[in-house]
Amino acid sequence: MHRFQVKGGRLWAEGVSVDRLAKAHGTPLYVYSRGTLVDHYRRLDAALGGVPHMVCYAVKANSNLAVLAALAREGSGFDIVSGGELYRVLKAGGDPARCTFAGVGKTREEIEFAIRKGICCFVAESEAELQEIDRAARGLRRRAPVAVRVNPDVAAGGHQKITTGTYENKFGVAFEGVAELYARAARMRGLAIRGVQMHIGSQITAPEPFVAAMRKMAPLVRELKAAHGIDFFSIGGGVGIVYDPALASGMAEWWEDREMPLTIDDYARAVIAETGGLGVQVQVEPGRLIAGNAGILVARVLYVKRTGSKRFVIVDAAMNDLIRPALYGSFHEIVPVRQLRSGASDPEWVATDVVGPVCESGDAFCHDRLMPDLRAGDLVAFLSAGAYGFAMASNYNARPRPAEVLVDGRKSRVVRRRESRADLVRGECR
């Protein structure tokens, strides 16, 4: 569910026309819906009401201060993967005591920063890291709260680069040796063992992989609770969203391609069923589920050209602004911001490649997609760009990053100004 709707031939973000925002702030432009963000958080929090729980929004999906502040005001916790993300959460008014710190390569400096700020828990991914956290904590005369990320060896996730829960990838500690690792960690005087964590992948649109992983983990959770008194089990993030409504509605040619939404209620029901009897707090770390459908990227058509049989629509947004299609082959629905050529009740559909100006063949948002007959000057919106959109943007090709706007009802405000050319060289010298 989101609050970007076509009404009266125009695309609206809540109560603000996207057209107007593009005119006021230029393109490319990220537009977020505060109502959608908060609604996703509240619905997940409420659906998990049957078990002691904490929702830790995965900051890496979208770390804009206004996004974090909106969630902090709702009481959200945060899952961070760097000292920089902790800094952002603190700047946004988030509570460090509700932050969990994940990632395979935390530096000593990041560990000390997080200990000083009093985070809820480190999620360690190796014995060597536990030893480093132990040393850092003893150096500060503190005890660092820790959990270990366990790899349950369950395949899940929409793409090879976003599956994380099998032994083929770098994440977590192999399931088999975990109990012994906790026993060794218990002897490290700088550590306080608090919980156990898993995170099996991203863009998962069925409950089965979560259920399989939780079932595999449940006996371990019980064992660790008895042996070390752990008080939470984090099941990570990874709940997928619908990017392609055609796949979700069953128009896909192959049922395997269907992208059925995993609803918040179905997910929560499975979580409660599998973890309700464990007697520990359940933590979830959703990123995409909260932010994905809460944002769009708006771009303007610069040129239309034909080469051979191909029709290219060149827009002013590129892979540096939204890299998911180039990096993962991901689908984003692309819609005109205004119904085109009023009067044409049945617009002509043409096979189109929508591409950006970056000098890479990979800089394409779609290939041969049937789209309305776009022309230079038209505005288009890439939907579901709220997660892993701006957060992954770069200055490649010396392109300033877009502005970000947050809409709240009929109000909107710039929550990150468009970068200038001077920003491009800030910090450099010749």
Ligand X SMILES: *Cc1c(COP(=O)(O)O)cnc(C)c1O
Residue with tokens 């899940």: 156
DSSP 278-322: S-SEEEE--SHHHHGGGEEEEEEEEEEEEETTEEEEEES--TTT-
Is residue 29 within 8 A of residue 13, CB to CB? The reply is no
Is residue 16 within 8 A of residue 407, CB to CB? The reply is yes
Q: Contact between 125 and ligand X (CB under 6 A)?
A: no
- Of 238 and 356, CB closest to ligand X: 238
Distance of CA 380 to the CA centre of its chain: 23
Is residue 270 within 8 A of residue 321, CB to CB? The reply is no
- Of 81 and 313, CB closest to ligand X: 81
Tell me the CA distances in angstroms from 92 to 69, 71, 88, 320, one per residue in order.
5, 9, 6, 25
Q: Pick the stretch among 20-28, 136-144, 235-243, 329-337 that binds ligand X (CB under 6 A).
A: 235-243
Catalytic status, residue 359: yes
Q: Which of residues 19-58 bind ligand X (CB under 6 A)?
A: 58
Q: Which of residues 371-430 bind ligand X (CB under 6 A)?
A: 387
- Of 178 and 380, CB closest to ligand X: 178
Q: Contact between 209 and ligand X (CB under 6 A)?
A: no
- Of 58 and 224, CB closest to ligand X: 58
Q: Which of residues 129-168 bind ligand X (CB under 6 A)?
A: none
Query: Can you tell me which of 77, 172, 190, 238 binds ligand X, judged by CB under 6 A?
Result: 238
Shortest Å, Cβ 306 to ligand X = 38
Is residue 240 within 8 A of residue 275, CB to CB? The reply is no
Consecutive H or E run containing 406: strand 403-408
Query: Can you tell me which of 158, 236, 325, 372 binds ligand X, judged by CB under 6 A?
Result: 236
> Exactly one of 121, 359, 366, 429 is catalytic; which is it?
359
Q: Contact between 85 and ligand X (CB under 6 A)?
A: no
Q: Contact between 61 and ligand X (CB under 6 A)?
A: yes
Tell me the CA distances in angstroms from 160 to 17, 26, 37, 78, 178, one per residue in order.
37, 35, 27, 25, 25
| CB-based burial label for 346 (10 Å; 0-12, 13-18, 19+) | exposed
- Of 27 and 203, CB closest to ligand X: 203
Interface pattern 273-312 for ligand X (x via CB under 6 A): ------------xxxxx-----------------------
- Of 18 and 56, CB closest to ligand X: 56
Nearest to 217, CA basis, from 205, 204, 230: 230
Site for ligand X, rule CB under 6 A: 58, 60-61, 79, 81, 102, 199, 202, 236-239, 285-289, 387
* Catalytic center residues: 359
